[in-house]
Amino acid sequence: MSTQGYEDELRSERGYLAGLYTRLDAERARVRGAYTAALKGTGGTPMERDAEVRALAKEGKRLDVADNGLCFGRLDSLSGERSYIGRIGLFDEENEYEPVLLDWRAPASRAFYVATGANPENMRRRRQFHTRGRHVVDFTDEVLGRPNGAAQGDAALLAAVNAPRGEGLRDIVATIQAEQDQIIRLDHPGVLVIEGGPGTGKTVVALHRVAYLLYTQRERMERHGVLVVGPNPAFLNHIGRVLPSLGESDVVFMTPGDLVPGLRVTAEDTPEAARLKGSLKILDVLAAAVADRQRLPEEPLPIQLKDVPVRIDAATAEWARDEARASGLPHNEARAVFTEIVTYVLTERAIARIGRGWLTRSDREAWEELRADLLKELAEDEQFAAALDELWPILTPETVLAPLYTSPERLRAAGADQALLRADGEAWTVSDVPLLDELVDLLGRDKAADKAVALAAERERKAEAEYAAGVMDILVDRQDSMDDEDHLYATDLLYGEDLADRFVERDTRDLVERAAADRDWTYRHVVVDEAQELSEMDWRVLMRRCPGRSFTVVGDLAQRRSVAGATSWGAMLEPYVPGRWVYRSLTVNYRTPAEIMTVAAAVLAEFAPGVQPPESVRACGVQPWSRRVTSGELSAAIEDFVREEAGREGTSVVIGPPGVPGTVTASETKGLEFDAVLVVDPEQILTTGPRGAAELYVALTRATQRLGVLHQGPLPQSLTGLVDLGAPAQAGNSR
């Protein structure tokens, strides 16, 4: 294309995209108008109006996020048809709703991502726009169908991966690569495992897959939403903008420590404790710990009734316990069976003693009357209530685990390892979360307490409804007393109806708020990132959250640091989805430049020699460096790095072993990326914990441009490929 031809084409494209923004603005104005009208509207029920307002608010958000990068490409077919590709779909209402912009998830957009010179997908050209705000800066063309012809399709990709990192992960909707697109659009109803080394984009691919599933299966998925589980809050904050930028908001983000609502994780387990808690063998411990609280009295427990004393002896309690356990009900619900048996025995004994000499079984009416009196007396007897609480207490997950962890005797009774013993039983760890969640099902509900709450709520609702009815009566009386010319408008009466409706309790929280607060909420799809860290017990929690077993699992077994984590995907998934999980791998490293990946690959080869490192798509031209410092020089060297990087565009981080001032651990940076990374004391990282080599591998692969290493002892053999900067004074001229 000649220079003049390019300029003419650029003007034409700018005009077309300006027209798209005009349509977007008009649609946005229409939705805002409808939203305002819905807020003021009186038609339909309040619940229907609430639903309409929420739907319009969601549509408004979708249109707002489309403003940035609305259209990023064009496809020209062999037949001469043009299709523009963008974040959302727009249509020409005056021309039978012809698409003027295709949503990137639409089937017709697929060729934009997968067409190549050798396999053009019936396309002649792919055009990629470079925009700034609403302005088209320039474009690049890739001519398809010519395997040996010119191709500039990598220009947008390289510009994206070389750009300085900002706050948070960015979407890749304009630069999705063919291997990524195949995974995003994969039609598989079960579990999809996406494995890839550092920088392969597995996280962002999984998030785009969520956006694709919400687009293609919106009716099925939207009502229950999607759960995204990540390793820590920093990671969730890092990825939290991707789905909103794609117009999707019905997504709940959690760490494994958030899966039990209201629980605060404040402590960390030893590796051995984490291993024990993560194993399915802990299920036997939990069951035994609950059974240990179902006690038999060492001495008979006296109950002083009005007319006769009775006792709960060991034989009675054992019969009641056996019947309660045989019922198959959870512990708290089985208490009713236990209570029924004990009550039966006590009333039979009391009747026999009270009626001795005058009451026979044939006198059924007198017998039943006496039984009813005794039942009422037992129900109100404090001694009886205390005895039940001693023998079969109402338990919560916390009241089972906390005493277990602080008592060597309880641990022995439950068959648990003493490595679980700790001083503060309620200092919860991430590994406690699946145990507490399991206990919710083992214990069941306290139905008596639930009934009391329900009755109180019903009384409150009746009182509020009576008040609303009174308001309506006053309005009607006022209407009857008015003259014809001084009448009450219908809207006033409608207000009265609305007032009554407002006293009907409705949950006005959005889906994300409701799902996050509800332990029993189930999702249509779950994304699990850094999934190699999850234990067998963690997977039980997640499978409860998604009965349909629709998962996107993201991870890299080579980066596993948890001793309770996965050593193979099949071992974790086959028990839950036998034959219903598929595996896909990503092999291209878009984050880590070749210079840094060479260093990281040497570490990988030492602890996972059979794993092939991902191939970097680019080089940065900057060699990773190392410098040996004394303990007295370390703090100043870290400060020098921080000060130097503060003057550059982009992000940076200092990673070290636990306890080194001014650093974070490698586990705290999992899934994150930074323009520059300084790794401190790699020799200590290697020797800290059973998976130290994996920690060091993670630390080295966070950088997108620059990597430095400070070491006090000898440099580990695997890192000898770093450029040695020598004395600290040389550092300022060498980076």
pLDDT for 298-339, tens place per residue? 999 999 988 889 999 999 999 999 999 999 999 999 999 999
Cα separation, 459 vs 62, in Å, equals: 42
Which token pair is 677? 């990374």
Amino acid at site 386: A
Model-level pTM?
A: 0.85
Is 200 annotated as a binding-site member?
yes
214 domain-assigned: no
Is 202 annotated as a binding-site member?
yes
**Does one domain contain both 125 and 80?**
yes
Look at the chain and report how many structural domains it folds into: 6
- Domain around 164: 146-181
Tally Cβ neighbours within 10 Å of residue 392: 24
**Does one domain contain both 129 and 163?**
no
**Does one domain contain both 282 and 299?**
no
* Position 240 confidence tier, pLDDT thresholds 50, 70, 90: very high
191 domain-assigned: no
With a cut of 60, say whether residue 293 has pLDDT above it. yes
Higher pLDDT, 165 or 557: 557
Within 8 A by CB and 6+ apart from 681, the residues are 656, 657, 660, 710, 711, 712, 713
423 domain-assigned: yes
CATH number assigned to the domain comprising residue 701: 3.40.50.300
**Does one domain contain both 623 and 674?**
yes
Which token pair is 519? 């332990």
Phi, psi of 592 (to 5 degrees): -90, 120
25 domain-assigned: yes
Report the pLDDT value the prediction gives residue 491, as an integer from 0 to 100. Answer: 44
**Does one domain contain both 278 and 419?**
yes
622 domain-assigned: yes
Q: What is the DSSP letter of 249?
A: -
Report the pLDDT value the prediction gives residue 461, as an integer from 0 to 100. Answer: 62
What is the rounded average pLDDT of the residues 393-410?
A: 97
**Does one domain contain both 18 and 153?**
no
With a cut of 80, say whether residue 186 has pLDDT above it. yes
* Position 446 confidence tier, pLDDT thresholds 50, 70, 90: confident
**Does one domain contain both 636 and 719?**
yes
540 domain-assigned: no
* Position 361 confidence tier, pLDDT thresholds 50, 70, 90: low
The answer to whether the Cα torsion of 42, 46, 50, 52 is positive or negative is negative
Tally Cβ neighbours within 10 Å of residue 80: 7
Of the ranges 31-40, 299-308, 489-498, which one carries the lowest mean pLDDT score? 489-498
**Does one domain contain both 609 and 678?**
yes
pLDDT, one tens digit per residue, over 584-617 is 999 999 999 999 999 999 999 999 998 999 999 9
pLDDT, one tens digit per residue, over 616-659 is 999 999 999 999 999 999 999 999 999 999 999 999 999 999 99
* Position 66 confidence tier, pLDDT thresholds 50, 70, 90: confident
With a cut of 90, say whether residue 730 has pLDDT above it. no
Of the ranges 100-109, 449-458, 546-555, 618-627, which one carries the lowest mean pLDDT score? 449-458
End-to-end CA distance of the chain: 41
Of the ranges 271-275, 346-350, 390-394, 440-444, which one carries the lowest mean pLDDT score? 346-350
pLDDT, one tens digit per residue, over 150-182 is 444 566 677 777 777 777 788 889 889 999 999
SS3 category, 676: strand
663 domain-assigned: yes
Mean of per-residue pLDDT scores for the chain? 88
731 domain-assigned: no
**Strand order through the sheet with 123-132:** 90-92, 98-103, 82-86, 71-77, 123-132, 135-143
With a cut of 50, say whether residue 580 has pLDDT above it. yes
Give yes or no for a contact between 650 and 705, defined as CB atoms under 8 angstroms apart: yes
**Percent above pLDDT 90 for the chain:** 70
With a cut of 60, say whether residue 450 has pLDDT above it. no
**Does one domain contain both 45 and 157?**
no
* Position 476 confidence tier, pLDDT thresholds 50, 70, 90: low
**Does one domain contain both 302 and 327?**
yes
Cα separation, 456 vs 448, in Å, equals: 13
Is 203 annotated as a binding-site member?
yes
Burial class (CB in 10 A: 0-12, 13-18, 19+), 304: exposed
With a cut of 60, say whether residue 391 has pLDDT above it. yes
Give yes or no for a contact between 74 and 84, defined as CB atoms under 8 angstroms apart: yes
Is 197 annotated as a binding-site member?
yes
Of the ranges 64-68, 432-436, 614-618, 668-672, which one carries the lowest mean pLDDT score? 64-68
Give yes or no for a contact between 202 and 172, defined as CB atoms under 8 angstroms apart: no
Higher pLDDT, 506 or 685: 685
**Does one domain contain both 32 and 111?**
yes
pLDDT, one tens digit per residue, over 507-529 is 678 889 999 999 999 999 999 99
**Does one domain contain both 424 and 462?**
no
Within 8 A by CB and 6+ apart from 473, the residues are none
Report the pLDDT value the prediction gives residue 721, as an integer from 0 to 100. Answer: 85
Report the pLDDT value the prediction gives residue 731, as an integer from 0 to 100. Answer: 42
